[in-house]
């Protein structure tokens, strides 16, 4: 049986306070928090956090269903609901030392925090690459995985520099996300903000007050902007749904008339690391490797 609400809150506070002398201060979306070092029983909801903890060699006792990361090894983890709906009874049974929420699962913070130490590791927008590195390093200090994190950061930084060098002087780049039959342009306001800040891409920006964070566009709009490069992501495939067949959809007269198509400069990017495991270091590596291959092609 759960503790009554006031007692649950006190219980969580006491857990953190009692371990304050052996705690690590980490940056969360809600401010700096002291977290007891080396927690043993971890539940993590955000796909990017699951990705990063897996890269650091941290095993979870619980994670949500349906995050579709086919490259992780967390088969021992129990299902604790979904990204949008935590199974509080399942979490309670696992007796976690720490629960991590963020972004899509952040709204569940208060309900989970009533009976388990909980942190919100949502990433702030602006430079997702650097925010992901910072989050990884905080987690590494918490789990005593600093050496592993340094190696990962070195590899990602080296890859980033190689991709940035290959992208210089490429002209304008439009990033299009396909969802079903709809097209959306991803700009610097979205999770690909680091394509410009870290890689130096000259991204096509939105020029209409009607275009929001995910800017709905048309094939005519793509031709009108006539980018030198097109990067296309199939969002449905990235999140485990039936593919939107992005490549087939882009094969039409309007897109084929663009500079990107005429020069063979359309890149179909696996969106798992970019759209799904946002800020996950394995996902970042995968995205960088794909971009390096595309922009370092001998045909250039």
Alpha-carbon gap, residue 119 to 138, rounded angstroms: 12
Q: Name the 3-class secondary structure at 227.
A: coil
Q: Which pLDDT score, from 0 to 100, does residue 3 have?
A: 42
Q: Name the 3-class secondary structure at 184.
A: strand
Residue 17 lies in a domain: yes
* Same domain flag for 206 and 275: yes
Q: Which pLDDT score, from 0 to 100, does residue 280 have?
A: 97
* Same domain flag for 116 and 178: no
Q: Which pLDDT score, from 0 to 100, does residue 215 have?
A: 75
Residue 219 lies in a domain: yes
Q: CA 2 → CA 5, 53, 99, distances in Å?
A: 8, 29, 17
* Same domain flag for 188 and 51: no
- Per-residue pLDDT of the chain (300 residues), as tens digits, is 344 444 444 444 455 555 556 899 999 999 999 999 999 999 999 999 999 999 999 999 999 998 889 899 999 999 999 999 999 999 999 999 999 999 989 999 999 999 899 999 999 888 999 999 999 999 999 999 999 999 999 999 999 999 999 998 899 999 999 999 999 999 888 889 999 999 999 999 766 544 555 678 999 999 999 999 999 999 988 888 888 899 999 999 999 999 999 999 999 999 888 888 999 999 999 999 999 999 986 555
CATH code of 278's domain: 3.40.50.1980
Please classify residue 20 by burial: count the beta carbons closer than 10 Å to its beta carbon, then call 0-12 exposed, 13-18 middle and 19+ buried.
exposed
Q: Which pLDDT score, from 0 to 100, does residue 169 have?
A: 86
Instruction: Give the N- to C-terminal CA distance of the chain in Å, as an integer.
Output: 65
Angle (CA) 184 186 192, round 5°: 150
Tell me the longest C-alpha to C-alpha distance in the chain. 66
* Same domain flag for 66 and 158: no
Q: Which pLDDT score, from 0 to 100, does residue 189 have?
A: 85
Residue 92 lies in a domain: yes
Q: What are 8's two structure tokens?
A: 């649950």
β-bridge mates for residue 99, sequence order? 43, 118
* Same domain flag for 116 and 180: no
Task: Give the other-Cβ count within 10 Å of 269's Cβ.
Answer: 22
163 and 291 Cβ atoms separated by less than 8 Å: yes
Structural domain boundaries enclosing 162: 148-295
Residue 93 lies in a domain: yes
* Same domain flag for 90 and 198: no
* Same domain flag for 257 and 161: yes
Q: What residue ranges in 47-166 does DSSP mark as E strands?
A: 62-63, 78-79, 98-101, 118-120
* Same domain flag for 118 and 196: no
Dihedral pair phi/psi, residue 222, rounded to 5°: -60, -45
Residue 134 lies in a domain: no
Dihedral pair phi/psi, residue 237, rounded to 5°: -60, -35
Alpha-carbon gap, residue 175 to 220, rounded angstroms: 15
Among 44, 47, 49, 28, residue whose Cα is nearest residue 275: 47
* Same domain flag for 76 and 21: yes
58 and 114 Cβ atoms separated by less than 8 Å: no
Count of domains observed in the chain:
2
Q: What residue ranges in 149-281 does DSSP mark as E strands?
A: 172-179, 182-186, 202-203, 214-217, 229-234, 266-269
Q: Which pLDDT score, from 0 to 100, does residue 206 have?
A: 66
β-bridge mates for residue 178, sequence order? 183, 234
Residue 153 lies in a domain: yes
Q: Which pLDDT score, from 0 to 100, does residue 115 have?
A: 84
Q: Name the 3-class secondary structure at 276.
A: helix
Among 229, 233, 239, residue whose Cα is nearest residue 199: 229
* Same domain flag for 164 and 267: yes
């Amino acid at each position: 049986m759960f503790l009554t609400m006031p007692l649950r809150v006190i219980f969580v506070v006491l857990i953190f306070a009692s371990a304050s002398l052996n705690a690590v201060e980490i940056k969360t979306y809600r401010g700096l928090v002291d977290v007891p070092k080396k927690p043993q029983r971890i539940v993590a909801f955000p796909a990017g956090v699951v990705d990063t903890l897996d890269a650091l060699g941290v095993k979870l006792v619980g994670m949500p269903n349906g995050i579709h990361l086919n490259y992780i090894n967390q088969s021992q983890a129990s299902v604790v609901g979904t990204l949008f709906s935590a199974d509080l009874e399942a979490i309670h049974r696992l007796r976690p030392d720490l629960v991590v929420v963020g972004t899509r699962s952040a709204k569940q913070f208060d309900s989970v925090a009533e009976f388990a130490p909980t942190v919100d590791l949502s990433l702030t927008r602006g430079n997702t690459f650097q925010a992901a590195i910072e989050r990884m390093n905080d987690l590494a200090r918490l789990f005593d995985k600093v050496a592993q994190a340094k190696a990962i950061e070195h590899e990602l930084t080296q890859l980033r520099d190689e991709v940035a060098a290959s992208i210089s002087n490429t002209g304008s780049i439009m990033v299009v996300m396909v969802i079903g039959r709809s097209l959306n342009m991803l700009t610097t306001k979205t999770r690909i903000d680091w394509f410009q800040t870290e890689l130096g891409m000259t991204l096509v920006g939105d020029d209409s007050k009607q275009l929001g964070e995910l800017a709905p566009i048309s094939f005519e709009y793509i031709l009108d902007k006539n980018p030198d490069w097109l990067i296309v992501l199939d969002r449905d495939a990235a999140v485990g749904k039936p593919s939107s067949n992005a490549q087939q959809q882009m094969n039409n007269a309007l897109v084929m008339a663009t500079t990107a198509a005429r020069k063979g400069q359309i890149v179909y990017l696996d969106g798992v690391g970019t759209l799904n495991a946002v800020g996950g270091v394995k996902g970042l590596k995968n995205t960088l490797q794909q971009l390096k291959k595309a922009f370092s092609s001998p045909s250039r």
